[in-house]
Amino acid sequence: MSFQFDLEATSGQARAATFSTPHGPIRTPCFMPVGTHGALKAMTPAQVAETGAQVVLANTYHLAQKPGEGLVEKLGGLHAFMQWPGPILTDSGGFQVFSLPGVEIADKGVRFKNEHTGDIMDMTPESSIEIQNRLGADIIMAFDECTPYPASRKLAATGVRRTLAWMERCMKAHGRPDDQALFAIVQGSVYPELRAQCAEGLAALDCPGYAIGGVSVGEGHELLCQVTESTAPLLPAQKPRYLMGVGLPEDLIACVGYGVDLFDCVIPTRYARSATVFTSRGRLRLTHRRYRRDAYPIDVSCDCYACKDGAFSRAYLHHLFAANEVLSAILCSIHNVHFYESLMAQARQAILEDRYADFAGEFAEAYGQAETAQSSAPTR
């Protein structure tokens, strides 16, 4: 059996587990950094691995457009193509397609216009899974209908109906169940009974993993927490749980507490490029003039390449941003991804020692002390 989920400890609802994949184990809770085009922005795979990242995400929609799943397959699949030896997860492509202008959604699938060629194209549960089979990630995602926010109950109910029907089609189309785990996705917007109906229907299909989708679409921290808190316990306890597109450090800490195992988000790398870095005492915006002469590293308690032994000063990073040097993005991306991975490693340790609530409280207290940088970067 290529995939196995071993629950090692719980602390309240929080869980520590190991999810085995054909490209190695994933210790949870775990944050997966995003490499949209098959590359993390501004980092080599070696630098990504050094942050402690265990698994990376790549986007099916973007890779299908360029360079095409056929070429990736010919070159040995995503692992060889992007030189990431560990586990990889691909999304279904649906999230990107649903946000295209003029997209048409029907029970059969989705029709949209190719951004590059202008061609009319269709994406269906079958075609999404076929593309993901050819890309070759360890974890692949169901083609679901991602309900926007806000959405009427009617729209959300249609999304749940389609998501359930499409999941069965995805499973039927899946050609590599032995070496690719197909995760189901729970939709239902902010309506608890729809979430419950979707979770129940999907749980009956005995999938190797379950995701909570339709979040991080503008609903905010409070609603995100409500949806996650009520949905996570409805998912099978013996399967990994993945909260899609989430989020800020405070979101992760809250949602680990609700029983989520896996997260992905562009925030650490995207914020890094716009000079916002995370520290144990909150966020800093390095382009602020207060850092122009600051001899300290980003975080004195951090041991990433950018911080360890007090290496690169905030003043140097401030200068690199002012000079438009790409090394600014490189160093801040390394730091931010390391921060997320280190946060999840600490959360895991706290769960193993059954003191997760204390850990979450200590994190919140320390994290609230710094400058709260006003960042305009979107969360997804």
Q: What residues act catalytically?
A: 91, 264
Contacts of 57 (CB under 8 A, 6+ apart): 32, 33, 34, 35, 88, 89, 90, 91, 264
**Which of 108, 153, 172, 293 lies at the binding interface for a second copy (CB under 8 A)?**
293
The pair of structure tokens assigned to 275 is: 């000079």
Asked if residue 288 binds a second copy (CB under 8 A), the reply is no
Half-sphere exposure of 297 (CA within 13 A, CB side): 19
Asked if residue 281 binds a second copy (CB under 8 A), the reply is no
Asked if residue 77 binds a second copy (CB under 8 A), the reply is no
Contacts of 64 (CB under 8 A, 6+ apart): 93, 131
Rounded CA separation 193/302 (Å): 43
Looking at residues 254 to 273 of the shown chain, list those that interact with a second copy (rule: CB under 8 A). none
The pair of structure tokens assigned to 341 is: 């991975």
**Which of 71, 155, 237, 377 lies at the binding interface for a second copy (CB under 8 A)?**
71
Question: Strand, coil or helix: what is 129?
Answer: helix
Asked if residue 41 binds a second copy (CB under 8 A), the reply is yes
Asked if residue 73 binds a second copy (CB under 8 A), the reply is no
Rounded CA separation 179/174 (Å): 11
Instruction: Number of residues interacting with a second copy: please give it, by CB under 8 A.
Output: 38
Helix (H), strand (E), coil (C) string for 281-350: CEEEECCCHHHCCCCCCCCCCCCCCCCHHHCCCHHHHHHHHHCCCCHHHHHHHHHHHHHHHHHHHHHHHH
Note every long-range contact of 104-109, with CB atoms under 8 Å and residues 24 or more positions apart, other chains counting. 105/145, 105/162, 107/162, 107/165, 109/143
Asked if residue 66 binds a second copy (CB under 8 A), the reply is yes
Residue 219, Cβ neighbours under 10 Å: how many? 17
**Which of 46, 101, 154, 238 lies at the binding interface for a second copy (CB under 8 A)?**
46
Residue closer to a second copy, measured from CB, 48 or 146: 48
Asked if residue 75 binds a second copy (CB under 8 A), the reply is yes
Sign, CA dihedral 150-152-155-159, equals positive
Asked if residue 300 binds a second copy (CB under 8 A), the reply is no
The CB-of-293 to a second copy minimum distance in angstroms stands at: 6
Q: Which of 83, 80, 72 is nearest to 43 (CA)?
A: 83
Contact stretch for a second copy (CB under 8 A) within 138-146, 197-205, 281-289, 310-318:
310-318
Asked if residue 377 binds a second copy (CB under 8 A), the reply is no
DSSP, res 54: -
Contact stretch for a second copy (CB under 8 A) within 20-28, 174-182, 289-297, 357-365:
289-297
**Which of 52, 67, 77, 177 lies at the binding interface for a second copy (CB under 8 A)?**
67
Count how many residues are written for the chain: 380
Asked if residue 313 binds a second copy (CB under 8 A), the reply is yes
Site string for a second copy, 320-349 (x = CB under 8 A): x-xx-xxx-xxx------------------
**Which of 82, 173, 266, 351 lies at the binding interface for a second copy (CB under 8 A)?**
82
Question: Strand, coil or helix: what is 240?
Answer: coil
Q: Find how far residue 146's CA is from the centre of its chain.
A: 15
Residue closer to a second copy, measured from CB, 23 or 241: 23
Contact stretch for a second copy (CB under 8 A) within 68-76, 130-138, 248-256, 275-283:
68-76
Contact stretch for a second copy (CB under 8 A) within 79-87, 126-134, 256-264, 345-353:
79-87
Asked if residue 19 binds a second copy (CB under 8 A), the reply is no
The CB-of-38 to a second copy minimum distance in angstroms stands at: 7
Asked if residue 31 binds a second copy (CB under 8 A), the reply is no
For residue 81, list its beta bridge partners.
none
Asked if residue 74 binds a second copy (CB under 8 A), the reply is yes
**Residues found near a second copy in the complex (CB under 8 A):** 37-44, 46, 62, 66-67, 71, 74-75, 81-83, 292-293, 295, 305, 311-313, 315-316, 318-320, 322-323, 325-327, 329-331
